[in-house]
A and B are shown apart, each in its own frame.
Chain A
Amino acid sequence: MKITINGKETNSGAFTNLEELVAASVTKIDGLVVELNGKIVRKNQWKEQILKDSDKIEMIQFVGGG
């Protein structure tokens, strides 16, 4: 299964739902927001969100900025 994470296409066969993918991608989920195919997925829905081929995921966080 190919999933695009932050613009990079990756093979993500090992993860069935969004929660597993997030857990494997980041060490802290505070202040993290996830978009699936352009729509925000709330943290409490990550587990139910089943991933499918060619999903596009954005993982975004706060950074320093003016």
Chain B
Amino acid sequence: MQTKKNSPLIIGGKQITNRFFLGTGKFKSKSEMKNAITESNIQVVTVAMRRIDAEKHSENILEYIPKDTILMVNTSGARNADEAIRIARLAREASGVDWIKIEVINDSKYLLPDNYETLKATETLVSEGFTVLPYMHPDLYVARELQKVGAAAVMPLGSLIGSSRGLDTRKFIEILIDEIDVPIIVDAGIGKPSQAAEAMEIGADAVLANTAVAAAGDPVAAARAFSLAVEAGRIAYLAQLNEARESASASSPLTGFLFETS
């Protein structure tokens, strides 16, 4: 029987089979980024938008992303809802992309997302027909509002961007998983495959990482490790593992020992 738990991941009408989403920032070379995508069959990648540097010729990153990949444009650099909306419109104009990761940040120390501005931007962009995936601080009320205004998924942070601390917000993400119907994609702070697996084991629908892969010594291998960990975590979740317990529980039968005498 298909339930919410074991149903395939569908976002914006597209079925996602690889639940590991990859950010494309910080790669040493674009060809390395391309190999990381293709060798792990990454299906969803994020890109950002910036001013061109007229003095420096820079290659178009889209040429290095396979055509069948789902592009999601990050509104990074936006400090409020209006700027995020403007970036989304530019992205659609430039490439026809309508998947938007709303990222609104105006704190330069902790880089925390501004949930209020994010909600405003989500509402507007949904009404303009975008598939909107807001990056957010895992607050239940905000997640409910995001869902209500039509977010295609919510993307709670595991820990601070680039921190590799894993699931600092685990309990709050668990609450979202329990209460929110749209897919939960854990984003930010995932530094190791084991942390990605943990997010999937508790029931997240997908995981997005960037720095952990791009800044690894071997990004292609790192992308593979993350993909496999996310898949393993998903299978573990569906397998309904036992809860942790304080006391021991023998794996082998406690009767019929070989050396027992009566």
Contact = CB atoms under 8 A, between A and B. Distances in A.
Interface of A: 5-7, 25-28, 30-33, 35, 40, 42, 58-66
Contact of B51 (A6, A40, A66): A6
The 6 closest A-B pairs by CB, nearest first: A65-B48, A66-B23, A66-B210, A33-B94, A64-B24, A6-B51
Interface stretch (B5-13, B57-65, B173-181, B242-250): B57-65
B178 to A, nearest CB: 27
25 contacts: A26-B54, A27-B57, A28-B60, A30-B60, A30-B63, A31-B94, A31-B95, A33-B49, A42-B93, A59-B54, A60-B50, A60-B51, A61-B50, A61-B58, A62-B49, A63-B61, A64-B23, A64-B30, A64-B48, A65-B23, A65-B25, A65-B47, A65-B49, A66-B26, A66-B210
Contacts of A33: 49, 90-91, 93-94
B61 A62 contact: yes
A5 B48 CA distance: 20
B172 interface: no
Contact of A40 (B24, B61, B74, B90): B90
Given A31-B95, A33-B94, A64 B25 contact: yes
Contacts of A63: 25, 47-50, 58, 61
A60 B60 CA distance: 11
Contacts of B208: 66
A21 to B, nearest CB: 10
Chain B residues touching A, range: 35 or more
Nearest to B161: A66
B211 interface: yes
A31 B60 contact: yes
B89 interface: yes
A5 to B, nearest CB: 7
B52 A32 contact: yes
Nearest to A5: B54
